[in-house]
Amino acid sequence: MGSTSAEKSAEHHGPTGVGRRDLIKRSAALGLISVPTMSFLSACASGGGGDDQDKAEAGEKTAKNPLGVNNSAQMEFVLFDGGFGKEYAEDAVKIYQKNFPKATVKFSATQKIQSTLQPRFNQGTPPDLIDNSGAEQMDMGVLVGKNQLADLTPLLDAPSYDDPAKKVRDTLRPGIVEMGQFDGDKVWILYYAYTVYGVWYSRKALDSLDAEYPKTWDEMLAVCAKAKKKGMAGWTYAGKYPYYIPFSLYPMIAKVGGAEVLDAIDNLEPNAWKHPAVKACFEAYYELYRKGYVLKGTPGLDHIQSQTAWAKGDALFLPNGSWVENESAKVIPADFDLAVAAPTGLDSSDKLPFGTIWASGGEPFVVPAKAKNGTGGMEQLRIMLGEASSKNFTAKVKSLTAFNGGTDGIELTPGLKSGVEALDLAGDNVVNPRIQDWYVKLQKEQIGVGGLGEMMAGRLTPAEAVKKIQAYADEAAKDSSIKHYKHQ
């Protein structure tokens, strides 16, 4: 969801049609990585404008053009300009142009996805392919609820780019297809990247404290105390975008109370936020503030500033997603030895083992229902899901894609390698909260800024934060203008 990336920050998503346990089973082997985000502004999608007469005529379906792309129609692609940059997409566009030399491709990149594109949705003139990410991500639940996205099943059932004997869906990492579903079998979103969320740190810095990564909260406080004595804060985070905090806090809640606690939160169940595990984890994080273990001034920092302070050694731990390795590449020292770990738990009474982590697809790509050349948008995605484009992405941005492979011959960077190791340790204990894509405003503005942000800045006690967040969730549950989703 950071943005450049953090603004981009958080975007993870998982399926509605799949229970957490099923997703966990499917997800264990995932590769890793990626980008983030959730969304400050919710999209008010309305219909209007455009009609089928504006759509490009279908082209002839052939072995090389299985979707039947009109080879002379313009294809417009708008990318979120975040932590992954735009070079990987520009490279994939070149392949499209090579395959369809008569077509023109209009490619652009922006951090202001919603303010740039929401008016075009409302006018019925959206682009053909969108990377809907960043702090200004359009609300996916709203877009789906108002039938503004195209079903991507034709893409998933098309022959894969490299092997016509395999469908695109058969080349994807476990869980990716389901993550693009909201209701039923239709797939509205293709998450291109794969993200591991957790607590990021420098192995060198931890070694300098003669400490190991803490598995219990008492150990966490002890490590932070050691750091403080050496002039280093225990934690920092994107204070202006405090929805980064859940990247480690949500899986901690699952570890302490079980994955069903997150399911209840996602489902907007009454009193879900009042569960003892939520209360205990809020109190644990609040203790970081109370004992002075959070870098001074953190509430005023954006994602780049907090990541830069952390990379300089001002703070030891940073809750973030795996895009951070690429986004902070210019400020992370060569000998930093970047690593990610699953969140620290409370103690031996936790329901799930140490290693429980949040990992899921990131960087959500969508094809608007009213796109003039939606088939071209899907073909661009088919190219990106080929081995060459996938390898190019991984090599350039230190992240894995939804394509289940594409790492042969690529030397894994420290953060990427650590993320893969974290997934191996997690095994089946991979969680994938859906609240951040089902209810974007609730997650970002109310839970993140109004609740956790205020608590970590010392302006709310844990009890007050829980009460406030539960009230926000209750309000969302009762709001008939919001489409509601539930784990099946």
Q: Report residue 420's pLDDT band, with 50, 70 and 90 as the boundaries.
A: confident
Query: Looking at this protein, which amino acid is placed at residue 53?
Result: Q
The CA-to-CA distance between both ends of the chain, in Å, stands at 25
Residue in 170, 83, 152, 69 with CA at minimum distance from that of residue 366 = 152
Whether 428 has a pLDDT exceeding 50, the answer reads: yes
The lowest-confidence range among 139-153, 253-267, 282-296 is: 139-153
For 179-196, how does the pLDDT look when each residue is reduced to its tens digit (9 = 90+)?
898 877 899 999 999 889
Spatial separation of the C-alpha atoms in residues 143 and 475, rounded to whole Å = 21
Whether 457 has a pLDDT exceeding 60, the answer reads: yes
Q: What is the pLDDT of residue 410?
A: 85
Q: What is the pLDDT of residue 218?
A: 98
**Close Cβ partners of 361 (under 8 Å, ≥ 6 residues apart):** 12, 13, 14, 34, 173, 175, 176, 179, 180, 191, 192, 193, 194, 195, 402
Whether 20 has a pLDDT exceeding 70, the answer reads: no
Q: What is the pLDDT of residue 362?
A: 86
Whether 298 has a pLDDT exceeding 50, the answer reads: yes
Q: What is the pLDDT of residue 36?
A: 37
| For range 248-273, the mean pLDDT | 97
Residue with the larger pLDDT of the pair 265 and 28: 265
Spatial separation of the C-alpha atoms in residues 429 and 21, rounded to whole Å = 9
Phi, psi for 463 (deg, rounded to 5):
-65, -40
Share of the chain above pLDDT 70, in %: 89
Element (H, E) at 309: helix 303-311
Report the predicted TM-score, pTM, of the whole model to 2 decimal places. 0.74
Q: What is the pLDDT of residue 185?
A: 87
Under 8 Å between Cβ of 234 and 378:
no
Q: Report residue 383's pLDDT band, with 50, 70 and 90 as the boundaries.
A: very high
Element (H, E) at 110: strand 105-110
How many CB atoms lie under 10 A from the CB of residue 393?
27
Whether 5 has a pLDDT exceeding 90, the answer reads: no
Under 8 Å between Cβ of 473 and 265:
yes
Whether 293 has a pLDDT exceeding 60, the answer reads: yes
For 36-78, how does the pLDDT look when each residue is reduced to its tens digit (9 = 90+)?
333 333 333 333 444 555 788 999 999 999 999 999 999 999 9
Whether 329 has a pLDDT exceeding 50, the answer reads: yes
Q: Which domains does the chain have, with CATH numbers?
A: 20-195+360-420 (3.40.190.10)
Q: What is the pLDDT of residue 134?
A: 87
